[in-house]
Chains A and B, each alone.
Chain A
Amino acid sequence: MDQASCDDKINTKVVIIDTGCANLSSVRFAIERLGYTVTVSREPAVLRNASKLFLPGVGTAQEAMKNLADRELIELVKSLTQPVLGICLGMQLLAEFSAEGNVSTLGLISGSIEPMPSEGVRLPHMGWNRIKPQQEHPLFKDIPSGSYFYFVHSYALAVGADTIATCTHGAPFTAAVNRGNFYGVQFHPERSSKAGAQLIKNFLEM
């Protein structure tokens, strides 16, 4: 590794937003495996000062929004101008509304989260599935179309204006989104082997 790249990593302030959910450590380990130092925090100053932020999530949309509200993070997250990557439920929270608990979410990307259609397929959508990214999107640099990523979810965002990658399970749905500085992936890059590591690397190097 050359010196410039080392400096980049040291100067990148990576923060995982502490949403109070249980799976923070797998995201943290995945970032650390790429050589970055990570801070897990809910402090407004730390979040505002970060260069890259991750919004993780497991559990239900209702519970996650309640956690964000309790921690007074809703307005803060909305006001962030640095790149933010929502993962799985974290991506779903970026949308306008979630049918999982009928709760208003952050409204940072267009569309609402609905239950996946169950006809002819098993739910949860659990396992490795292929995605089709938009060509030339920086989040998917060096990730070929048709790469497998690991998914675990029963709710999804329909393909819409902010979709940058799609996947199909019964019907097509959004695998990744981007609007402005907000990015989201429905799959778990931290558990998607080399392709997932590449995606996290792409996000951190943006």
Chain B
Amino acid sequence: MLAKRIIPCLDVKDGKVVKGVKFRNHELIGDIVPLAKRYAEEGADELVFYDITASADDRVVDKSWVSSVAEVIDIPFCVAGGIKTEEDAARILEFGADKVSINSPALADPSLINRLAAKFGVQCIVIGIDSYFDEDTQEYKVYQFTGDETRTQVTKWTTFEWIKEVQKRGAGEIVLNVMNQDGVRGGYDTVQLSKARKICKVPLIASGGAGEMSHFNSVFTVADVDGALAASVFHKQVINIGELKEYLRDQDVEIRQ
């Protein structure tokens, strides 16, 4: 049986790891490579590096750090942010990343998903979705350019329609980031994730809201996601990955030793 994955996410800005609250006010966490190595040694199942400046800034970002990570890390990792073309994706994969994750550029040109899947195979194409629950309209909507709050905008897509669309086009995995919960550590949105799970046939990764160990247990058991992504609880050492995995095994969640 496939193990549920624990996935620390490292937000990268100008070659350093940062973390914001609700996508804002980024504070410096540290250097990329030592932090990535520490997480791998603690038992992380996978790492996600999210270059938060890339999509919003519309500039060429130096990605040579990807190669430095690949040299020392012996678990899979995914790179997100600023990948707009097949050439961008090819470069990241050549540097040694296992997967690329596409968010805003896929919204701007959904056919990018088809082209990337055809060229590299669906297994390395992850689609990141930033979803916001609007309490007034009771709708789940997809947002774009969330790396820069001055440019963040709602799209025409509801979250569930977009989840269906990206699967049709060749997404091999979906990371659903619930913006309402991001960085506030109040727990994953298991209601939204359960709804997403019903229509998501590819691996689904929960993102946004992890604050304590029980949140991981409920997102795996209630929403049946394949992986749970978190940042601040790991960066700030609120939760130790080894202890988290031991706790989840005690709760009978399938977890890699």
Contacts and interface: CB of A to CB of B under 8 A. Distances in A.
Contacts of B112: none
Contacts of B70: 25-26, 29
A153 interface: yes
Interface string B77-113: 0000000000000100111101000000000000000
Contacts of B45: 127-128
Given A22-B120, A122-B202, A153-B123, A127 B3 contact: yes
Contact of B227 (A123, A127, A191): A127
A126 B90 CA distance: 20
A193 B226 CA distance: 19
A23 B226 CA distance: 24
Which of B72, B74, B94, B121 has the most A CB atoms < 10 Å from its CB?
Answer: B74
A48 interface: no
B182 interface: no
Interface string B59-72: 00000000100111
A154 B122 contact: yes
B197 to A, nearest CB: 10
A72 to B, nearest CB: 23
Interface string A156-188: 000000000000110000000000000000001
A60 B40 contact: no
Contact of B256 (A24, A123, A148): A148
Given A126-B172, A148-B257, A191 B76 contact: yes
Nearest to A24: B94
For the complex of A and B, the 9 pairs showing the least CB-CB separation, nearest first, are: A22-B93, A25-B96, A148-B256, A128-B3, A152-B123, A128-B256, A26-B96, A191-B76, A127-B2
Interface residues of A, number: 37
B75 A150 contact: yes
B173 interface: yes
Nearest to A200: B74
Interface string B215-243: 00000000000110000000000000000
Nearest to A149: B256
Tell me what chain A mostly uses at the interface: helix, strand, loop, or mixed: mixed
Contacts of B67: 25
Interface in B1-47: 1-3, 5, 40, 45
A192 B74 contact: yes
Given A126-B203, A127-B2, A127-B5, A30 B123 contact: no
A46 interface: no
Nearest to A89: B121
B98 A23 contact: yes
B201 A122 contact: yes
Contact of B95 (A25, A127, A153, A193): A25
A25 B94 contact: yes
Nearest to A30: B74
Contacts of A168: 1
A29 B98 CA distance: 13
A30 B3 CA distance: 23
Contacts of B172: 124, 126
B124 interface: yes
